[in-house]
A and B are shown apart, each in its own frame.
Chain A
């Protein structure tokens, strides 16, 4: 069973702070990693993807990948109340099907 693990939260951070969301995966052969944001009652929306070890930055978001430790994270700088949502980590084990974690609920308080 290929697992993707996330802390369900909720993770609460004050407005303007850095939110750090973490994900571990069990399949060492995984090649592609995705972060989706999901607002309550809505469908997942892609935030970032990362394929290579290291950091990838896009605006206020930074994805970090460490394949040796089987760990991927998402940092959100200058967190805003509108960032409050569930963040889903997804791992591409097969070349097509995404294997999702259960998601981490983030609450940014004004």
Chain B
């Protein structure tokens, strides 16, 4: 079966622009997560969805970041007024249960570069 997919694979934008990053989880997985990975670091948690609702968005760095999952499947991470410090690989993961403690499967990531 298909794994987690993310689009685009690469995104180059200018400082101040708005970007959207898309994640399509594994079919049937109810939990969805966004992480951000900077060079030389491990992934850093951003937000967790149970179904359609954001169960925990405490990892979002500031109010320029927002994520939605309107139908409980595909999710979009939205970044307003991008800054150079937002440059990183944005990883999406999904897992088969609403409650955590089970395995998260990662997508290939979107490499965001803010010039």
Contact = CB atoms under 8 A, between A and B. Distances in A.
The judgment on whether A and B are partners is: yes
Interface of A: 4, 8, 31-32, 34, 36, 42-46, 49, 88, 90, 92, 94-103
Interface stretch (B11-19, B63-71, B76-84, B97-105): B97-105
B101 A43 contact: no
A80 B31 CA distance: 34
Contacts of A90: 42
Contacts of B31: 96
B101 A42 contact: no
B107 A98 contact: no
Interface of B: 31, 33, 35, 40-45, 48, 55-56, 59, 91, 99-101, 103-109
Contacts of A32: 100-101
Nearest to B4: A43
Contacts of A100: 42-44
Nearest to A99: B45
Nearest to A101: B42
B8 to A, nearest CB: 15
Contacts of B44: 100
Given A102-B40, A103-B42, A45 B56 contact: no
Contacts of B55: 96
A89 to B, nearest CB: 8
